[in-house]
A and B are shown apart, each in its own frame.
Chain A
Amino acid sequence: MEEELHVLAVDDNLIDRKLVERILKISSCKVTTAENGIRALEYLGLGDPQQTDSSSTNNVMKVNLIITDYCMPGMTGFELLKIVKQESSNLKEVPVVILSSENIPTRVNKCLASGAQMFMQKPLKLSDVEKLKCQLLNC
């Protein structure tokens, strides 16, 4: 039984969020978008404990993949990556893909070294997600 991949897409840019969402939907993925790292963490159930009440923890989603922009104001994609990978729960197993408009080797290396599944160049193309899905589902 092939399950739908549920992807959490994080980007501060509305246009990029719309693009990623569309690409993922065409690729038969379920998509949730977040406009920043804090929101993303809330969806993942890692929000501020003081602000989270029981009703929101019940909405914690199970995601199979996180795709995040690198360059975001506040929490960067890299910081989000590190938080996810430092989790003691199963969350740390969720693959995190970093998207960036700049293919700077030191940036790429530090993301991969911190456990990123892949570092991809923006703008994201349909064929990128097809390749990514193949990689994740071991096609």
Chain B
Amino acid sequence: MDTLVAQLQRQFRDYTISLYHQGFLDDQFTELKKLQDECSPDFVAEVVSLFFEDCEKLIGNMARALDQTGNVDFNLVGSSVHQLKGSSSSVGAKRVKGLCITFKECCDSQNFEGCVRCLQQVDIEYKSLKAKLQDLFNLEQQIVQAGGRIPQVDI
């Protein structure tokens, strides 16, 4: 008979693995988890939360810069993209990071339509990751509330 805890743990394991396999997360996220322990039990959630705040802020900057019709400062957009690329790389947000690479190329070649497209994609992507990680954190909470331990998932 499968206990609630075992079911939740299996869900958690499967969901985590799928996030890696679908390219949402890379091994830097695994590195983040290594930095979490009893002394710093919410480290991953804190860092990830900072990241999403960063996304919102930087995307706002990029949108404003791209809105200056006829007078777009591509260096300004590029510098925000560079920062976002750095942050996404640091938390293991693989798809966001990949989009930033393309985005940077559009900035460097002053490709306005390309930039606008990339901006839309980055916005969608970070929000998607945010929702998925929220689901993952919710599963963790459910496991703990059901009296279980969060399994270590080896990718």
Contact = CB atoms under 8 A, between A and B. Distances in A.
A14 B50 contact: yes
Interface of A: 13-16, 18-19, 22-23, 26, 71, 73, 101, 122-123, 125-126
Contacts of B87: 13, 15-16
Interface string B91-120: 100000000000000000000000000000
B16 interface: no
Given A13-B87, A123-B31, 11 more contacts: A13-B83, A15-B54, A16-B86, A16-B87, A16-B90, A19-B47, A23-B35, A73-B79, A123-B90, A126-B34, A126-B35
B9 interface: no
B90 A26 contact: no
B86 A14 contact: no
A14 B54 contact: yes
B145 interface: no
Interface of B: 28, 31-32, 34-35, 37, 40, 43, 46-47, 50-51, 54, 79, 82-83, 85-87, 89-91
Nearest to B92: A123
A94 B110 CA distance: 42
Contacts of B32: 19
Contacts of A22: 35, 40, 43
> Counting chain B CB atoms within 10 Å of each CB, which of A18, A23, A123 scores highest?
A123
A11 B48 CA distance: 18
Nearest to A71: B82
Contacts, number: 45
Contacts of A125: 31
13 contacts: A13-B87, A14-B54, A15-B50, A15-B54, A15-B87, A15-B91, A16-B90, A19-B32, A19-B47, A26-B35, A73-B79, A101-B89, A122-B86
B85 to A, nearest CB: 7
Given A101-B89, A123-B28, A15 B35 contact: no
A126 B46 CA distance: 18
Contacts of A23: 35
B86 A101 contact: yes
B34 A122 contact: no
A126 B40 CA distance: 15
A13 B86 contact: yes
A14 B83 CA distance: 10
Contacts of A13: 83, 86-87, 90
Nearest to B31: A125
B133 to A, nearest CB: 15
